[in-house]
């Protein structure tokens, strides 16, 4: 496969029911913030209509490598609207709230949505419970000035 064909293939690849537009991501990522969780640090970047959540591998064998997750901005807005004003929110609660929508496909995505919200200062990590389960406090959405 030529580099041009590879780039074309990557431009709109289907993953988890949504398309990943690499060219759209390349046009400008803006750093939103850093989230310190129990075992890992996450870095959140904003693209045009999505967020990129990055973390680095912790093992010495994989130094310099890491993981990334794309989160749709509409999913973040949905969770803000549904969970705003609640505390003690878990990734499981977010999955339950979005079970009949296309926004949330599983706990990992729900957790990354919450990390994005922490980076945007729309939520905060309250505490880590048993078995490293995280609890979040989600702020109510701010109303736009008329």
Q: For the chain, which domains are there? A: 23-138 (1.10.10)
Structure tokens at 123: 């939520």
Structure tokens at 16: 């988890």
Helix (H, G, I), strand (E, B) or coil at 78: helix
72 has a pLDDT exceeding 80: yes
Whole-number Å distance between alpha carbons of 104 and 77: 12
Give burial (CB, 10 Å; 0-12/13-18/19+) of 72.
middle
Q: Encode pLDDT of 15-35 as tens digits.
A: 334 556 666 666 678 999 999
Whole-number Å distance between alpha carbons of 146 and 123: 24
Q: Encode pLDDT of 80-96 as tens digits.
A: 999 999 999 999 999 99
The model's pTM is 0.79
Sign of the alpha-carbon torsion through 111, 133, 127, 40: negative
Structure tokens at 106: 């599983």
pLDDT at 26: 64
Task: Using alpha carbons, list the distances in angstroms from residue 24 to 3, 14, 52, 77.
Answer: 18, 15, 12, 20
Task: Kindly calculate the radius of gyration of the chain based on its CA atoms and give it in whole angstroms.
Answer: 16
């Amino acid at each position: 496969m030529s580099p041009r064909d590879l780039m074309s293939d990557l431009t709109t690849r289907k993953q988890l029911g949504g398309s990943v537009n690499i060219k759209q991501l390349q046009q400008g990522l803006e750093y939103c913030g850093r989230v310190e969780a129990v075992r890992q640090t996450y870095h959140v970047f904003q693209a045009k209509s999505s967020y990129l959540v990055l973390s680095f591998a912790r093992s010495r064998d994989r130094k310099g490598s890491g993981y990334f997750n794309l989160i749709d901005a509409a999913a973040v807005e949905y969770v803000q609207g549904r969970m705003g004003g609640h505390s003690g929110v878990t990734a499981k609660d977010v999955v339950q709230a979005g079970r009949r929508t296309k926004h949330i496909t599983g706990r990992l995505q729900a957790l990354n949505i919450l990390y994005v919200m922490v980076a945007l200062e729309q939520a905060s990590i309250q505490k880590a419970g048993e078995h490293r389960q995280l609890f979040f406090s989600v702020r109510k959405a701010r109303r736009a000035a008329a």
